[in-house]
Structure 1
Amino acid sequence: MVTSRDFAGTTWRLVRENGAVVAPVVMLRPDGGIGGVEEAIARGWRVRDDRLAILDGDGVASLTFALPRNGDARRLAGCVAGAETTVVGLERIALPSALAAPQPPAPAPVFRDRVGRRRDDLVILRAGTGSLHPTWTDDLDDADRDWDLCISWYDAAEPDPEMPCEYLTVQREVRKLAAVRDIFAHRPDFADYRRIWLPDDDLAVSRRAINRLFAICRRNHLDLAQPALDEASHVSHAVTRRDPRFALRFTNFVEVMCPVFSAEALTACLDTFPTTLTSWGLDVVWPSLVGAGGTRIAIVDAVTVTHTRPVGGGYDMSSAFGEMNALLAAWGKKLAPVVYGGISAGAPV
Structure 2
Amino acid sequence: MEINISSPRSPYLVFTSAGRWANIEQWITKDRQWDLFLCNYGKQRHPQAAHADYYCDRQGGKFPNLYHAWQENPELFRQYDAVLVLDDDVMFPDRNIHTLFNYLKKYQLWCLQPAFSPAGKISHRLTGVRSLRKLTYTNFVEVCAPLIRTDKLDAFFQVYDPKLVGWGVDLWLMHFLQYPKNKVAVIHDVVCINPEDEIKGGSREIERLQCQQKRIECWNTIKREHNIPDQPLMEYGTVWQLPTPMNIWRALVIFFERKYLRHWGKNSRRARAGLA
TM norm. shorter chain > 0.5 = yes
Specify the alignment match of 1:191 in structure 2: 78
The answer for the alignment partner of 2:239 in structure 1 is 343
The alpha-carbon deviation at position 163 of structure 1 amounts to 1.4
Aligned with 1:328 (options 216, 223, 228)? 223
**Aligned runs of 1:177-188 on 2, under 5 Å?**
177-187=63-73, 188=75
Alignment of 1:269-288 (within 5 A): 269-288=156-175
Q: Which runs of 5+ in 2 are unaligned?
A: 244-276
Q: Which letter does structure 1 place at the counterpart of 2:68?
A: D
Could you list the structure 1 runs, at least 4 aligned residues long, displaced by more than 4 angstroms after superposition. Answer: none
In the alignment, residue 122 of structure 1 is paired with which amino acid? L
Superposition RMSD on alpha carbons, in Å?
2.3
Is 2:115 the counterpart of 1:228? Answer: yes
Per the alignment, residue 50 of structure 1 pairs with none
Pair 275,165 (structure 1): closer, same or farther in 2 beyond 3 Å: closer
Asked if residue 133 in structure 1 is aligned to residue 24 in structure 2, the reply is yes
What is the distance in 2 between the residues matched to 1:324 and 1:236? 18
Q: Is the 8 A contact 1:228 1:240 kept in 2?
A: yes
| Cα deviation 1:290-342 (Å, max 9, x = unaligned) | 24132111111111110003397232222222223333344332141100112
Alpha-carbon contact 2:90-2:192 (below 8 Å) kept: yes
Aligned counterparts of 1:157 and 1:241: Cα–Cα separation in 2:
35
1:123 has 2:14 as partner: yes
Residue 213 of structure 2 is aligned with which of 303, 310, 318? Answer: 318
TM-score (norm 1): 0.62
Gaps of 5+ in 1: 1-109
Distance in 2 (alpha carbons) for counterparts of 1:152 and 1:276: 18
1:163 partnered with 2:50: yes
Higher relative contact order (Cα pairs below 8 Å, separated by 6+ residues): 2
Scaled by the length of structure 2, the TM-score of the pair is 0.77
CA distance in 2, matches of 1:223, 1:141: 28
- The structure having more radius of gyration, on CA atoms, is 1
CA contact (8 A) 1:229 1:307 kept: yes
Letter in 2 for 1:328: K
Contact 2:39–2:57 (Cα < 8 Å) also in 1: yes
Q: Counterpart in 2 of 1:295?
A: 182
Post-superposition shift, 1:117? 5.3
Report % sequence identity: 21
CA spacing shift, 1:116–1:240, aligned 2, 3 Å: same
Distance 1:305 1:115, change over 3 A: farther
User: In the TM superposition, what is the alpha-carbon distance from 1:180 to its structure 2 partner?
Assistant: 0.6
Where does residue 92 of structure 1 map in the other structure? none
CA distance in 2, matches of 1:283, 1:312: 22
| Secondary structure, counterpart of 2:158 in structure 1 | helix
What do residues 21-63 of structure 1 show as CA deviations (whole Å, max 9, x unaligned)? Answer: xxxxxxxxxxxxxxxxxxxxxxxxxxxxxxxxxxxxxxxxxxx
Structure-2 residue corresponding to 1:40: none
Counterpart of 2:14 in 1: which secondary structure? Answer: strand
Aligned residues: 234
- Could you report, residue by residue, the CA deviation over 1:211-234 in whole angstroms, capped at 9, with x for unpaired residues? 000001111111111111111111
Could you tell me which residue of structure 2 aligns to residue 217 of structure 1?
104
The answer (yes or no) to whether the contact 1:268–1:289 under 8 Å persists in 2 is no
CA distance in 2: counterparts of 1:323 and 1:154, whole angstroms = 21
Which one has a larger percent helix, Structure 1 or Structure 2? 2
Asked if the contact 2:86–2:144 (Cα under 8 Å) also holds between the matched residues in 1, the reply is yes
What is the deviation of 1:166? 1.1
Q: Which amino acid aligns with 2:239?
A: I
User: Could you say which structure has the higher strand fraction?
Assistant: 1
